[in-house]
């Protein structure tokens, strides 16, 4: 029992997670307690929008430009300060001090993702001055969580399937988890009773990234995304143009595979606009249909026995996209957000990166070689101590 004036005992250990994805619209910050095999306990969750000037610069840094090294270093400082604000806010909401948090898993902002290209290894780049974040927050920072997997010959992405398996795998039925951030990634979870089939996962195509950029072009004073997919829902899918978009070679690649804004960006859309519908809302409708179609085609191809599709990420709040997923899935696959399974869809990735920080502190592998293609399990991340 807590005596008057005493702070209540908190579950241990506490970890924080910071995730800003390919959509580049905000960062999710969480404080989480992990207790053995029990479900993670989220003490608090905060979303903090990206500062407008930082978002503009980060999007610009996704393509070659002048003075990139200097601009990237300043942007990494900006990401650290933005993250520090989110971390302070979530600690305040959780009612805990920095000293109570063992470490924070911080993703950083991806501006290049080219594993396996140019040489045998390639690279992945997430901008974040993790040393500055440790200095500002007073918490140990575990960052650069993808590079070790890439060094081992892997894709460095997706990293969340191991966490999905911990939280969402079912005893007797196959389940898939679809994360709809900027890019869509799919996790394939065989039943727990299946001791021979590994957990797999891969990026399956664009999620919000193309729809968001198209929406910003035509609604520059709007929120930066198509709320509930209302604009796309008002348009008509152009079946001929959709067929052309589906010819993108990435969709036909066998896993392991990953992608990002290096491929799916303004130029990808612009090169295909010659044959696009003349009405902007029909383009929006077709781009959303591309997301739903590529995800469902990948699911049916790779896990045809799936009985349930759990959706997380920002796309889970797009009502029209969720309807399209269910329609394409048919009656044999139930489509829902991860909320009924125990975790709100906008918390999943941030909690996953808190879990990756926990795994690092225990020197436990955070990757799944069957997912990324790495040579073996690896401890992921680099530590930036607070003191």
Angle between helices 280-302 and 319-329 (to 10 degrees): 40
Q: Could you report the per-residue pLDDT of 172-213, keeping only the tens digit for each?
A: 999 999 999 999 999 999 999 888 999 999 999 999 999 999
Amino acid 161: pLDDT: 97
Average confidence (pLDDT) over 26-33: 97
Output the CA angle 13-158-179, nearest 5 degrees: 85
The answer to whether residue 5 scores a pLDDT higher than 90 is no
Assigned token pair, 230: 């209302």
Amino acid 136: pLDDT: 98
The answer to whether residue 118 scores a pLDDT higher than 50 is yes
DSSP state, 200? Answer: E
Amino acid 2: pLDDT: 45
Q: Are 312 and 349 in contact (CB under 8 A)?
A: yes
Give the integer Cα–Cα distance in Å for 77 and 354.
Answer: 21
Coil, helix or strand for 347? coil
Coil, helix or strand for 309? strand
The answer to whether residue 286 scores a pLDDT higher than 80 is yes
The answer to whether residue 14 scores a pLDDT higher than 70 is yes
Q: Could you report the per-residue pLDDT of 307-323, keeping only the tens digit for each?
A: 999 999 999 999 999 99
CA 4 to chain centre: 42
Amino acid 8: pLDDT: 53
Q: Does the pTM exceed 0.75?
A: yes
The answer to whether residue 92 scores a pLDDT higher than 80 is yes
Average confidence (pLDDT) over 130-139: 98
Give the integer Cα–Cα distance in Å for 139 and 141.
Answer: 6
Q: Where are the beta strands (DSSP E) in the chain?
A: 14-19, 26-33, 41-49, 101-106, 109-115, 122-127, 141-143, 175-180, 183-189, 200-206, 308-312, 334-337, 382-384
Amino acid 377: pLDDT: 98
Give the integer Cα–Cα distance in Å for 238 and 275.
Answer: 10
What single string gives the DSSP state of each residue in 102-146?
A: EEEEE--EEEEEEET-SSSSEEEEEE--HHHHHHHH-S-EEE--S
Average confidence (pLDDT) over 31-48: 95
DSSP state, 154? Answer: S
| CATH (residue range 14-155+348-384) | 3.30.420.40
Average confidence (pLDDT) over 74-102: 98
The answer to whether residue 64 scores a pLDDT higher than 80 is yes
Query: Taking all residues of the chain, what is their mean pLDDT, rounded to a whole number?
Result: 95
The answer to whether residue 296 scores a pLDDT higher than 70 is yes
The answer to whether residue 265 scores a pLDDT higher than 90 is yes
**Residue ranges of domains in the chain:** 14-155+348-384, 161-341
Give the integer Cα–Cα distance in Å for 289 and 245.
Answer: 10
Amino acid 22: pLDDT: 85
Amino acid 11: pLDDT: 59
The answer to whether residue 228 scores a pLDDT higher than 80 is yes
Q: What is the CATH topology of the domain spanning 161-341?
A: Nucleotidyltransferase; domain 5 (3.30.420)
The answer to whether residue 6 scores a pLDDT higher than 90 is no
Give the integer Cα–Cα distance in Å for 310 and 245.
Answer: 25
| Nearest Cα residue to 30 out of 20, 44, 19 | 44
Strand partners, 27: 48
Coil, helix or strand for 157? coil
pLDDT band at 291 (very low <50, low <70, confident <90, very high): very high
Q: Are 98 and 138 in contact (CB under 8 A)?
A: yes
Element of type H or E holding 327: helix 319-329
| Nearest Cα residue to 362 out of 102, 31, 96, 162 | 102
pLDDT band at 120 (very low <50, low <70, confident <90, very high): confident
Position with higher pLDDT, 337 vs 4:
337
Amino acid 10: pLDDT: 59
Coil, helix or strand for 234? coil
pLDDT band at 9 (very low <50, low <70, confident <90, very high): low
Assess whether the region 14-155+348-384 and the region 161-341 belong to the same CATH fold.
yes
Amino acid 1: pLDDT: 41
Give the integer Cα–Cα distance in Å for 63 and 86.
Answer: 27
């Amino acid at each position: 029992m807590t005596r008057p004036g005493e702070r209540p005992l908190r579950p241990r250990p506490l970890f924080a997670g910071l995730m800003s994805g390919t959509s580049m619209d905000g960062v999710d910050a969480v404080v989480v307690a992990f207790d053995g095999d029990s479900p993670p306990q989220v003490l608090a969750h905060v979303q903090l929008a990206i500062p407008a000037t930082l978002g503009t610069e980060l999007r610009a840094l996704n393509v070659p430009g002048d003075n990139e090294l200097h601009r990237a270093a300043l942007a990494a400082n900006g990401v650290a300060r933005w993250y520090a604000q989110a971390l302070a806010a979530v600690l305040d909401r959780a009612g805990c001090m920095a000293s109570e948090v063992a470490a924070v898993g911080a993703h950083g902002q991806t501006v290049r993702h080219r594993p396996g290209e140019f040489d045998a290894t390639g690279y992945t780049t997430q901008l974040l001055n993790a040393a500055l974040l440790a200095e500002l927050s007073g918490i140990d920072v575990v960052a650069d969580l993808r590079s070790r997997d890439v060094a081992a010959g892997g894709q460095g992405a997706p990293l969340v399937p191991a966490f999905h398996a911990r939280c969402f795998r079912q005893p007797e039925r196959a389940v898939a988890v679809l994360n709809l951030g900027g890019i869509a990634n799919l996790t394939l979870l065989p039943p727990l009773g299946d001791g021979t089939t590994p957990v797999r996962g891969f990026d399956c195509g664009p999620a919000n990234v193309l729809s968001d950029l198209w929406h910003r072009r035509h609604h520059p004073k709007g929120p930066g995304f198509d709320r509930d997919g209302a604009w796309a829902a008002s348009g008509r899918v152009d079946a001929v143009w959709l067929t052309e978009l589906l010819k993108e070679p990435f969709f036909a690649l066998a896993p392991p595979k990953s992608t990002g804004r290096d491929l799916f960006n303004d130029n990808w859309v612009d090169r295909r606009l010659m044959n696009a519908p003349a009405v902007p809302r029909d383009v929006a409708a077709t781009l959303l249909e591309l997301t739903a179609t590529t995800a469902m085609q990948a699911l049916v191809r790779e896990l045809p026995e799936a009985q349930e599709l759990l959706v997380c990420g920002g796309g889970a709040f797009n009502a029209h996209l969720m309807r399209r997923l269910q329609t394409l899935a048919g009656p044999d696959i139930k489509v829902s957000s991860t909320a009924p399974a125990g975790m709100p869809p906008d918390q999943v990735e941030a909690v996953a990166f808190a879990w990756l920080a926990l795994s690092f502190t225990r020197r436990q592998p955070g990757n799944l070689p069957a997912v990324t293609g790495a040579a073996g399990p690896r401890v992921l991340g680099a530590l930036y101590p607070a003191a």
